[in-house]
Amino acid sequence: ANFKEIRKHILDAQAGIEVHSDAELANRLIWLLDDPEQARSMGARGEIMIRQNQGAMNRIYELTAELLG
């Protein structure tokens, strides 16, 4: 998967946020610090996403090896 696909998955899963400037980054960090439940929830979604995608490269290799015989 390329970075754009990964970014889309992260945003779709609400496991991260996208910022476009230093000021926006600072505002989002303050927002997360002010809302620890939101930060925990986002972190939990990120952890789920990582667990779901662990071993993806091995699965791709195994499928490719199967197809190539």
Averaged pLDDT score across all residues of the chain:
90
Lowest mean pLDDT among 1-5, 18-22, 27-31, 37-41: 1-5
Residue-level pLDDT at 63: 84
pLDDT digits (tens, 9 = 90+) for 33-60: 999 999 999 999 999 988 888 887 777 7
Residue-level pLDDT at 42: 96
Residue-level pLDDT at 65: 85
What span, in angstroms and rounded, lies between the C-alpha atoms of 42 and 36? 10
